[in-house]
């Protein structure tokens, strides 16, 4: 680690507190049900975080239920933590019903958040700076007297420090005197920058003896960096959420902070030495339970984190993975992906043939060369095979003499019309194999209409494809659009309930492009089924086709 110009105060090991179930659940549009919360907690325990901050008892009934329910499970690595505020102004801690609820959660550890920015004390709490200190002191004392370990979460600490350093430090000292076991500096508005965090944590370290922690939000795009800089300045305790979910722009992402600490800074962060390899799975699971689409660009665990598109990169990574990979993808449970694109070459197609069809083909195979040449020509016409591997593989199969052409498109026709309001279409198609199948259909749009007619014809022609479903249909304009005369590229994703594949076609006529992509999708399914049956008959020789 290069640390010239810096003093490296990083500890050998930090504690990780995951607050996905508390701060993460405060994100817009996120609502975990009880069972989801339990599943996430169990997975976090398996991965090996030290603390799971799981909810605010009294804020909603689900949180209280969680604290009861989780007791039925025996956790290996993690302490469950209840979150609560300081006592209400004017109340005694012992008679504040919210604090009682936090006790009732019956956890060994409790997080107490208090205000450390004078602006918040004055404008939001609307009380005196003195009373705020009393609220913090009383609340922590109350929990300590009831035998709890207390994490004090100093809200808006960095803003407070910048505007009224003396008061912000006084808040921390009050918490420490009251017996807090951890002092956490929160960048609640997320506006801090990494160098400020380093400087402030260093300075606080000169005043506070108890272990310091940092809790970072991402409003400046620096939540991860700020957490790392906090550790470099001596913080021993970090707050994170899975995938960085949280208020506004979110929190520091566990899936990024932890590998940065362990793989790059040599700071142990997880209690389970195998935990790092479970991060991709943890990430996917939380996206899934939160009902969010995974971010493919997420560092370490995203689908694209180790995906290489440009030809130069693909080539180099095959020569030496370190050439374009900062860590081995397996270290965080991810894998390398090589994509086809106008910039790249053979490696991708070879990989797809292997993965999707079990066909092993050499880099110098003439059929592969011819297929690549055709793919390149199509790309120049506006095709893109980044997602549409099924269309690329059909070309390869054709060049290998393995594309049986189970049917042929003879003719199609659509009429579409409208008036001041609304519109309707009717269409007809003619497909053939041994015999000719002609079918008609009607609908609103021209594409759905021709699709319906095609499916009717295919049902007769290839009944085994009847359970193939079209699950995604997209339209792109691949080239310079010149009035409405531009080529359109249609991309369609299919499933048979088990696997997924995508096809693509380009035409100046959207109906024609759609017809071709639909037929390719069905043809790919029929051919793949046939190949797999062939393979099945000789399982020891997946390479038989080109071996």
Site for its own copies in 340-369 (CB under 8 A): 341-343
Q: Which segment (177-185, 219-227, 355-363, 539-547) binds its own copies by CB under 8 A?
A: 219-227
Nearer to its own copies, 167 or 358 (CB): 167
Is residue 89 close enough to count as binding its own copies by CB under 8 A?
A: no
Q: How far apart are CA 489 and CA 42, in angstroms?
A: 45
Applying the rule CB under 8 A, the residues between 115 and 144 that interact with its own copies are 119-120, 123-124
Q: How many CB atoms lie within 10 A of CB 417?
A: 9
- 83: tokens are 């979150």
Assign 535 to helix, strand or coil: helix
- CB 546 → its own copies: shortest distance, Å? 28
Q: Which residues contact 220 (CB under 8 A, 6 or more apart)?
A: 190, 191, 192, 193
- CB 20 → its own copies: shortest distance, Å? 14
Q: How far apart are CA 223 and CA 230, in angstroms?
A: 10
Residue from 145, 221, 288, 466 in contact with its own copies (CB under 8 A): 221
Residue from 447, 461, 519, 531 in contact with its own copies (CB under 8 A): 447
- CB 299 → its own copies: shortest distance, Å? 4
Applying the rule CB under 8 A, the residues between 48 and 87 that interact with its own copies are 59-62, 65, 69
Residue from 71, 264, 355, 467 in contact with its own copies (CB under 8 A): 264
Quick one: which H or E segment has residue 240? strand 237-240
Beta bridge pairs of residue 505: 490
Assign 384 to helix, strand or coil: coil
Backbone angles phi and psi of 429, in degrees to 5: -130, 155
* Residue 26 DSSP one-character state: G
Beta bridge pairs of residue 310: none
Q: How far apart are CA 493 and CA 465, in angstroms?
A: 15
* Residue 123 DSSP one-character state: I
Q: How far apart are CA 461 and CA 435, in angstroms?
A: 9
Is residue 247 close enough to count as binding its own copies by CB under 8 A?
A: yes
- CB 400 → its own copies: shortest distance, Å? 22
Q: How many CB atoms lie within 10 A of CB 487?
A: 20
- CB 467 → its own copies: shortest distance, Å? 14
Nearer to its own copies, 134 or 315 (CB): 315
Applying the rule CB under 8 A, the residues between 458 and 497 that interact with its own copies are 469-481, 483-486, 488
Is residue 533 close enough to count as binding its own copies by CB under 8 A?
A: no
Residue from 1, 90, 434, 537 in contact with its own copies (CB under 8 A): 1
Residue from 31, 76, 362, 433 in contact with its own copies (CB under 8 A): 31
Is residue 541 close enough to count as binding its own copies by CB under 8 A?
A: no
Nearer to its own copies, 436 or 534 (CB): 436
């Amino acid at each position: 680690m290069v640390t010239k110009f810096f003093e490296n105060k990083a500890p050998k090991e930090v504690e990780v507190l995951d607050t996905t179930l508390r701060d993460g659940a405060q994100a817009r549009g996120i609502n975990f049900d009880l069972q989801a919360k339990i599943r996430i907690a169990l997975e976090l325990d398996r991965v090996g975080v030290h603390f799971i901050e799981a909810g605010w008892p009294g804020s909603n009934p689900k949180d209280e239920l969680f604290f009861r329910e989780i007791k039925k499970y025996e956790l290996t690595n993690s302490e469950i933590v209840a979150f609560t505020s300081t006592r209400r102004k004017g109340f005694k801690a012992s008679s504040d019903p919210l604090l009682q609820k936090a006790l009732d959660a019956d956890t060994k550890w409790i997080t107490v958040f208090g205000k450390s920015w004078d602006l918040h004390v004055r404008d939001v709490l609307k009380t005196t700076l003195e009373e705020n200190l009393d609220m913090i002191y009383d609340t922590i004392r109350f929990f300590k007297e009831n035998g709890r370990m207390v994490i004090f979460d100093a809200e808006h600490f960095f803003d407070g420090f910048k505007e009224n350093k003396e008061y912000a430090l006084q808040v921390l000292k009050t918490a420490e005197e009251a017996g807090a076991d951890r002092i956490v500096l929160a960048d609640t508005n997320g506006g801090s920058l990494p160098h400020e965090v380093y400087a402030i944590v260093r300075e606080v370290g000169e005043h506070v003896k108890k272990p310091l922690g940092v809790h970072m939000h991402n409003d400046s795009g620096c939540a991860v960096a700020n957490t790392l800089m906090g550790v470099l300045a001596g913080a021993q305790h970090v707050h994170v959420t899975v995938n960085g979910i949280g208020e506004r722009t979110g929190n520091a992402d566990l899936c990024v902070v932890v590998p940065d600490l362990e793989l790059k800074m040599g700071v142990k962060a997880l209690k389970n030495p195998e935990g790092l390899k479970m991060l991709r799975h943890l990430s996917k699971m939380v996206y899934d339970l939160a009902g969010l689409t995974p971010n493919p660009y997420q560092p370490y665990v995203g689908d694209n984190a180790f995906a290489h598109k440009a030809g130069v990169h693909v080539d180099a990574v095959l020569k030496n993975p370190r050439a374009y990979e900062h860590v081995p993808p397996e270290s965080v449970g991810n894998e390398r992906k090589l994509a086809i694109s106008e910039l790249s070459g053979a490696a991708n197609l070879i990989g797809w043939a292997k993965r999707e069809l079990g066909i092993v083909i050499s880099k110098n195979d003439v059929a592969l060369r011819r297929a690549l040449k055709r793919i390149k020509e199509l790309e120049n016409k506006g095709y893109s095979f980044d997602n549409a591997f099924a269309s690329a593989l059909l070309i390869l199969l054709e060049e290998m003499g393995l594309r049986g052409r189970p049917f042929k498109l003879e003719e199609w026709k659509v009429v579409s019309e409208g008036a001041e309001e609304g519109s309707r279409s009717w269409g007809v198609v003619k497909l053939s194999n041994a015999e000719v199948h002609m079918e008609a259909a009607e609908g609103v749009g021209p594409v759905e209409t021709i699709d319906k007619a095609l499916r009717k014809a295919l049902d007769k022609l290839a009944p085994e494809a009847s359970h193939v479903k079209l699950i995604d249909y997209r339209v792109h304009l691949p080239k310079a659009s010149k009035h409405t005369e531009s080529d359109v590229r249609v991309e369609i994703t299919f499933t048979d309930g088990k696997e997924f594949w995508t096809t693509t076609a380009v035409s100046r006529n959207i109906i024609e492009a759609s017809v071709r992509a639909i037929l390719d999708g069905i043809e790919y399914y029929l051919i793949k089924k046939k190949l797999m049956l062939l393979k099945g008959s000789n399982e020891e020789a997946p390479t038989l086709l080109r071996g």
